[in-house]
Amino acid sequence: MNLWTGVLPAITTPFNTDLSVDHGTVRSHVRWLVSQGCTGIIPCGSLGEGATLSQEEKAAVMRTCVDAVKVPVIPGIAALSTAEAVQLARAAEEAGCAGLMVLPPYVYSSDWREMKAHISAVLRATKLPCLLYNNPVAYKTDFTPAHLAELAAEHDNAVAVKESSTDARRVTAIRALLGDRLAVGVGVDDCLVEGVDAGARFWVAGLVNAFPAESVRLFELALAGKKQAAFELYRWFLPLLRLDTVTKFIQLIKLVQQEVGWGHERVRGPRLELAGAEREECLRVLREALANRPAL
């Protein structure tokens, strides 16, 4: 089973009115995403509000996803401390997850020596294949191609990278240095076509939570090199995809999900639901997209 192919939704975490995790909605949502052609599920990541979930809640979400679908479940592994990240990686393996998406530590970011030690500790704690998550915009830690090569040389289970630097040239640079040693995926929604054109072979996506059929079709067209058809669908999708690239991406995507009938806009603090002009602008973008939704 190839984990690193197709569209892998980084799922949101739905909450009940008391802000406990709504496992029923988790279950129905991931089943719907898979039914629309998604090839794996990534819970507990940034979009999943992983920083607001306890270790026990993360493990429970993992188990719900593993029980709900037959595709690979690849949870985000992120924590404030290295010890917590190691504990979470082991919990994911116990839950039956197929792989891990390994993030740098929350809050603290420093030099390569410290970041390498953190990631290496997680990689040593599991036998599962691991996706290294590079997102210098959000986490202030940049895993350069040379850094990735170091990790790949020292850890056999470092097998893929989610490249979210927003620079499609990074995909080319990783492939030039590492060849096929690491599978490369796009981690920024509005860089999908450019990333695939540069050689990325999977997409860790956000707006897929509300638009899985369109996401899967866009990825397929890009991968097949059908540039004109991909461009036409991309042009329609871009105003929505750009919601994934700003500070309030979680609130925006959850609001879009709510409006299309697949979730609720509830978020955990410190986030608050959108209000005023921000909320209205998101709804305007969505209304325009729905009014011009293409036939697939």
* Active-site amino acid positions: 133, 162
- CA distance readout (Å), 133 to 76, 142, 164, 165, 289: 9, 10, 8, 10, 30
Is 285 annotated in some ligand binding site?
no
Residue 183 CA, distance from chain mean position:
15
Q: Can you name the residues that pair with 82 across neighbouring β-strands?
A: none
Q: Can you name the residues that pair with 203 across neighbouring β-strands?
A: 7, 186
Annotated binding-site residue numbers for pyruvate: 204
